[in-house]
Structure 1
Amino acid sequence: SVEAQAKTVTLTLSTAVSHGQTVTVAYADPTTGNDTNAIQDAAGNDAASFAATAVTNNTPAPPDTTPPQLITTGDTMRPKVSGDQLVLSFSDTGNLDADATHKPANGAFTVLVNGVANAVTNVS
């Protein structure tokens, strides 16, 4: 479709472009003279042909549907405790949600020390 005032031409593609794909566009004026089968201005002047030109791909990345997984191996990332701080590390393609209103409840965790419950008083 052509939007005259915005000076845009919108092309509808046979298949959707995915996030991260490389896209180019080229245009060939169908004839050497001014004609109605070309991109034209209101005075009838044909737009010049152009070679393959890079296109900015604004297709959003697909939503993250992979849940974070607790890392249980390796010396640096597996769960560790120092004093009253127990740190859990998770693998995920994105960041964990740091919004304080979305943090898990203290009671969602069960911590045992020498087989005795040690209550979680804060999650950060």
Structure 2
Amino acid sequence: QDAAGNDVASFAATAVTNNTPAPPDTTPPQLITTGDTTRPKVTGDQLVLSFSDTGNLDADATHKPANGAFTVLVNGVANAVTNVSVEAQAKTVTLTLSTAVSHGQTVTVAYADPTT
């Protein structure tokens, strides 16, 4: 009804645009550790980590993890990470190592989230 007392005329079912926002993404990306093409792999000085997530990874350079957040051991000896690059759509993080890895060497990688 309007201010003058006129009732709204009847109308048929009408499509409504739903602007309700989607719930926030609260699931962190998880490192994929299985599968021939997606588990962590190293070639020379490039170690590639793949992640599962419903969206893309954050490509904002100000949110990039610090080199020191990763610990890479080659045959049990630390191999420093000199650069971290994020490929958002591919959901990969590539670590550049200070020393190239040779065939047959054992490599492990760990990550410590620096945020509290």
TM-score normalised according to structure 2 size = 0.66
Aligned residues: 85
Q: 1:115 aligns with which of 51, 59, 76?
A: 76
Give the deviation of 1:48 after TM superposition. 2.8
Q: Which of 22, 41, 49 is matched with 1:80 structurally?
A: 41
Matched, 1:104 2:65: yes
Distance in 2 of aligned mates of 1:72 and 1:52: 51
Distance 2:75 2:35 in 1: 23
- Cα offset, 1:113, TM superposition: 1.2
SS in 1 for 2:26: coil
Structure 2, unpaired ranges of 5+: 86-116
Q: Is 2:22 the partner of 1:61?
A: yes
Alignment of 1:1-124 (within 5 A): 39-40=1-2, 46-124=7-85
Identity of aligned residues (%): 93
* Distance across 1 between alignment mates of 2:45 and 2:3: 72
Residue 111 of structure 2 corresponds to none
Aligned-pair Cα RMSD in Å = 1.7
Larger Cα Rg: Structure 1 or Structure 2? 1
Q: Greater RCO between the two (CA within 8 Å, min separation 6)?
A: 2
CA distance in structure 1 between the aligned counterparts of 2:18 and 2:37, rounded to whole angstroms = 38
Q: Which structure's residues are more often strand, by fraction?
A: 2
Gapped runs of 5+ residues in structure 1? 1-38
Q: Distance in 1 between matches of 2:72 and 2:52?
A: 21
